[in-house]
Amino acid sequence: MTERIFGSEDPEKRSYKQLDADFKRAVHNTDILSNVVGELVSELNGMDIEHIKRCISPDYLPRTPGLETEMHNDSDEYVIMDNLFSITIPGEKKIDIMINIEAQGDSEPGYPLLNRALFYASGIIFNQKGAVFRGSHYEGLRKTYSIWFVLQPRKGEENSLVRYPLVKVTGPDMNTGRPEDCNLLEIIMVKLGGPQDAPNRAFRMFNDIFLSGFKGEEYRNRLRNSYNIEVDDTTLESLERIGMSLGEEIVNFQRRQGYMEARAEMIRDRADIMIDLMSELGLSREDAMRFARVSDDDRDEVNRIVDEKLSSN
């Protein structure tokens, strides 16, 4: 969502900035962060939640400090990520992981969301040189996760999860494997849809945290009793605002979807009328377009559909 905050400060952009700030505040809560990464980060799967908290915040802080989220390039262009964390899993072979966590309101922002996630993850990997390792010591490269919570997924994709790991494919049969030496990058899309339709505990928790619609002590008790998550008053207020903001955004998103679907149907109808007028009455395309009452804004789209239908007959 961060890229939408640049430019003039109109009300919609201010709303997205507030949503960004509230999401960041919520995710930095150590209880929330521990539960989220415990479900999504493969290296933490199956671990006790208290052990995960120690990996994230060895000092048992209620809020987990994050890393620098601003990335620059040589052209002095920059992006600001929502959240970036570094966690360490102790053991005989210590594992260090970088985790980027983003919230995306609209699933169709005008570009492929996966491309943006890949850009973020690649930038995090690039920035490790000089900060995590130096010179040619690429063996010190840390695995990077970029986790995206899609809050308004496409219809039919609600409460689903898609992983994009880095994999090794070998010939001649092009067998796919995932050996340790290429397990350094993974993008995860978590597409929410409401707790009532959640297929498992993980999605019930994700939806309860970000989309539940609860308020006040009911919200706090739900998180405490169901997931052992404690939130302070400030975090609780942020979660409530996220729910209210998304409720408004979802309504607006559904309205936009409904408008686009109705417009597409209208354009198809106009194209059918034009084809009938041209074939049955012998009207020219221009006259048929006028009789079908095609507006100037719709001319190109209607013409395209007419051409497609005529070429397929």
pLDDT of residue 13: 55
Looking at residues 138-155, what average pLDDT do you find? 91
29/237 Cα distance (integer angstroms) = 13
Please check the confidence at residue 253 and state whether its pLDDT lies above 70.
no
Confidence of residue 242 (pLDDT cuts 50, 70, 90): confident
* Residue corresponding to tokens 């955004």: 249
pLDDT of residue 132: 92
Higher pLDDT, 60 or 229: 229
pTM of the model: 0.74
155/254 Cα distance (integer angstroms) = 10
153/104 Cα distance (integer angstroms) = 9
Q: What's the pLDDT tens digit per position in 271-284? A: 999 998 889 888 89
- Residue 75: count other Cβ atoms within 10 Å of its Cβ: 6
pLDDT of residue 176: 65
pLDDT of residue 257: 60
Higher pLDDT, 255 or 261: 261
Please check the confidence at residue 53 and state whether its pLDDT lies above 90.
yes
pLDDT of residue 246: 59
Q: What's the pLDDT tens digit per position in 150-176? A: 988 888 888 999 999 988 877 777 666
* Residue corresponding to tokens 């009207």: 283
- Burial (Cβ within 10 Å: 0-12, 13-18, ≥19) of residue 202: middle
Per the DSSP assignment, residues forming a β-bridge with 290 are none
